[in-house]
Chain A
Amino acid sequence: MDQNTSRIDQLRALIAGYSEKAAAVYSETAPEVLTLLSTQAANRWVEMGCLLAEASAAAAVKYFRESPEILRAFTDRANVEPALEVGLRLASQNYGIALEYFRQCPSILPKIGPRGLWEWARIAADLDSQSSALGGSVGYGTAIEYLKSGTQILDHLAPDQLSNWAQLGLVLAQEDRKSKDFLSLEYFRLSPELIGQVASRELHPALLEIALQLAKTSSKLAMEFLKHSPAILAVLNRLQIQNAVLAIAKTLAEVAPSVVPEFIGHSVEALTLAEGSLIQFQQWAQKGIAIARTNQERAGAYFSLKLKISHDVLRQLSKGVYLRDISRMLRLYAEGLCGKPVEINVGSGPTGLPTKPEGAITLPEKIALFTQPEDNFRFYKVMTFHESGHLEFGSYKSLSPLIINEIEDDMEFGLKQALKVHLAGTNQGSPIAVQDLLGQFPDTPLARNLWTIVEEGRIDYLLRHEYMGIRRDMDFVIDQQLKGRPTISELPPRQAILEALLQLSVADTTEVPLAIADEVAKAYAILKTVQHPNATVDDSFKAAHSLYLLIKKYLQGLKTEAATDTAGPQASTPEEDFQDNRVDMGHGTLDNLSYRNPLDLQCTSGGPGQPANPESSKGKTPTSLFKEIKVPQQSGETLPKGDRIQTQPALRDPERSEPGTYYYDEWDIATGDYRPRWCRLQERIPEDVSSEVVDRIKGEYGAIISLLRRYFEYLRPEAFKKIKKQLYGEEIDLESAIASFTERRAGMSPSDRVYTLRQKKTRDVSAAFLIDMSGSTSKLIGHSSPTTHPSPLVDNAKAWRAGKRVIDVEKEGLLLLAEALDAIGDEFAMFGFSGHSRNQVNFYKFKDFDEALADPARQRIGGIQPFGQNRDGTAIRHVTAKLLGRPAKIKLLILLSDGKPLDEEYNGVHALEDTRMALREARARGIHPFCITVDRDAREYIQEMYGEISYTIISNISALPQRLPRIYKQLTS
């Protein structure tokens, strides 16, 4: 004890030499410490204290005060001495770090062992010296953060990765020095948690390596990567995929570091698009890396899936088939087969639209059920084929009125009653909608399901009978479909019977539990009655009715059995019983085979000789389901505006066209196909208005007009031109005649083209101008207020212009142009368009091709008023059709617009793409479209809208009147 005390005192004196305060603390804790340490270690301990005290008394005080606790924490005290050895080396460099080092020693030692200590400490020292340039406290902070998180990181990281992890911190710290940033601090603080999120240690090396590589370019990039990748790796879930993603990221980090975040950020999405196939994903990424080697920016867009080619590559790699690639083809296929207009909609197949117009086929966006694209296509084909079968073989036809008499004797009481009420309101002998009848069955769901099974079976049978070639494909699809069906024996009785029938309707064999075997056999026989080449929808209905009776009887039998077993009273009517027992019987709706769209009974065809349904349904009793079902269809999405019947009586029958009404398709970019007969265009001739506007413009531009006329008259070609070497003509072409004689003399066969022909020479140009008259053209030009009426005294051009609207300037332009065109003698027409919704595109004829330029035409142009919206595509298509009827060789379509196309359900990409498609159609038919826009902001969208079509933007709209004739001249000369 004494020995100890004297030793403590001796050493105290040593410490006191540096700091009295530290010595005092030492005296307090030394007795305990010395009992914990060997003599060697104790000496080192004091040595370290002295070193600290020498640099900072405060540090030494902390050191001595915390020492007992720290030392107690050492699991193996033999390690204290080597730890202090390292501490001493550190302390000579930086006391603060040495202290923190000592604090962390007990927790880190078990993880790295005494041998690892120096390496660990050295990094701290490096960090400190690296970042000391930022100011002592910062560098210190980074190193401290490093030491503190070291123990945490080792909870996650394998010890051999520690140096890599620290290395990254070092690189970041170096970077911080340059950028005066604190990313390394952040790194050490956050990385244990971030890396901790990546559960699999196998991934850590790659993760750190990538971050390190990125840090060489930018610390921010590295941090960004570390922050975001763990969450994404967690979503990727499978180690194989995670490894693959990191491997790609690693390559990218070398090739194009800036692209890595885009890649990581979109990897999940891309993988989904690649149908979860790692190989496809990797191939996609390889293409991206190839791009990255030449163009990093493009690669960024590629990996963030913003580039079209990126999707194209995925699609090409895909084994799935996309509807948009084949929707037009499928539509033509279906139209060819059934001979009726068909519309292909995107939807999720069986759960598609609740109501659909006749001829609508809903198909999924993509089919990737099979590994081979051809097989996926077969699925699409069979789906389309099956639907066109419904159209071809009249699934949507109404039933013959005689059908009720035919089945009347067998009808159950409830149905009879319901029908009696239902039919009271209808005309005797008018056809009946299937839906209507099914709705009257007491157990409507059962009736509907049976009807579906029977009718689908009939269609499939007829299709197989009529089309030999499809059998292969249908067998293939049905085979696949049956694999996914529920096992019949596991279903409740009601569903079991339905399921058995459904399977039998396509496959002819299935495993049926003994309990229902008899019933199914009977039902199957009924099912077979509609499977002959002449079966009609009436036969289907009769069969469905027989099945209904059969199955209901069977189910009620079951119910009675159950009731007698439990000795329950039988008070209620059978119907109600049946309802009560629904759950037991299994009343779930039957999932049809997914190659079949839901057989939509609500869409009945309105073929000729068949009274329109709304009329025949008048005066129905409220009990009828008919009304409830029909009404939503009337106002459903197939007919766009609910109020259109009131406001536009003429529109009630869209097929009945009044003169001057035209229908045009519209391009739908979403499906990659046209919406057939989508827009209705009405031609109108505006009324003549007063000549005031024209007079004013003539007054203002009088001089320019006469100049223009003179100039354009000068361009007018000679009236006649002599063409030589003709087979026939007015005069002999001497030159060729002599040549011909010479040839004859020479024994050759002479040319018989020896005449000159005076041919009328025209410019042979037909130009159509199409003006967007939408409401937006009423915008004022410039800043002045529209209300001031210019006094005649200050009536100069400038004052006028200040109050002018876009449309006014367009008018001036058109009038000037009209004069110029008249002078040059070209055939031209001027049209305008506006409107609202696809049912009401107004097309105004200001001057038609055959009309001479006279005052009425001028006044119509002068009277143009802005109104409504603009559906450019439809108007362009109409002008195209008009131009095609002109005999001129050169056909010009000049579109003058003031902004983006915009109409009801016609905006954004859809509108731009449709306009573009309309222009392309025009071009494909030999018309030269040219677009002039006065929208200064047009640059954003114009490239997309006009694409390869030539266009010009006039940013100074006031110049339009003079520019227009000049543009025209350039276009035609």
Chain B
Amino acid sequence: MNLNAIGVVYRKEFTEWIRDRRTLISTVLVPLLIFPLLMVGSVYFATVMVGRAKKETPTVMLLGAENSPALVARLQKLDNVEIVPYAANWKDLISDKQVRAAVDIPKDFDASLTTNSPQTVNIYYYEGDLKSSFGADNVEKSLKDYRESVVKDRLQAKNLSATILTPFDVKQENVAPPEKVSGATIGGFIGYVVIILCMTGAMYPAIDLTAGEKERGTMETILSSPIYRLDLVLGKFLLVFSASLATAVLSVISMGISITLLGQSQMKSGDAQHFALHIGGMSVLAVFLMALPLAVLFSAVLMTIALFAKSYKEAQSYLTPMTFLIVIPAVASVMPGVELTPKLALVPILSTSLVCKEIISGTYHWHSIAMIFASTCVYAAAAIFLAVKTFQRESVLFRS
């Protein structure tokens, strides 16, 4: 191995890389923009949608209004719903979003209140439609208030206190520190994103430096120079690895800024308790360290596969299924209930994603971390070895 030759190849590849618009977009622009767009954009979108839904007074239709004039009068007094006249096609009207909800007052409702034979008031709404849910919620709240007032009256009639119904209170109290809460909620997401971006950052340089070189006809040029194939592969690999890391670093910086800005905007609006994200710098650094061997693995595997292709397009078609192979375990780690076990610790990508989730939440299981780091390093070393061997195969380099 000749470090000077590796350096020469790396410097040349770096020069070409920073002059390539395609790889710069995938390595720099995408990770820098994806988080502000995804996080700030989605929160903004949700706020606007909820705001709009809240502004509208939902229309509610009463079915069987004649069964309880008292209840009808109560509902008509509500400010947050608008009672509309009965129509036989009320279900269609809800589906067409002309009416947001309907309340079905059963027969003999008023009589049932005095005879203590409970009846059910059905509220019909359109699930998934925010405005319909608001209409149904407003009506339900009013009905519950009415039920409580009826209960209160009944107790008073029997000279009983309302507290008879609540002999004790039940309250849940959180003891988990804020960073653990953050880890449980977004820890998996951060690991997932770092892993996916490590891969996407490596993908385009890996194609460009292998299949791209074949397509442009420069492979034969470089093979005619006296550099050892090992040095050539390592120089190229280091560039792909750098691109992978650069993407991951930029993505985490961008994510950190997005989360901070989002947190500040929530604080201003007095909603901070809903967005309590506390992620330590050490946790982020640890996530990076865990992602390092994975970035090595991705870089070497992507280069090896892309080398089989004769053109950029062919390489893209080979690597697209690879994306799914990487996305599936990364997504699995975000699923609720998927926990790190000794067996899963040996599954590449999934194990790193799971341990990142734990690290972000402040939990450091050192034996698991060591096992995952070591096993991923072994996979990565095997992948580099494979890449070097593939670069020495004439049938791959001169495939026609």
Mutual binders A and B: no
The residues of B with any CB-CB pair to A shorter than 8 Å are: none
What is the interface of chain A, defined by CB distance below 8 A to chain B? none
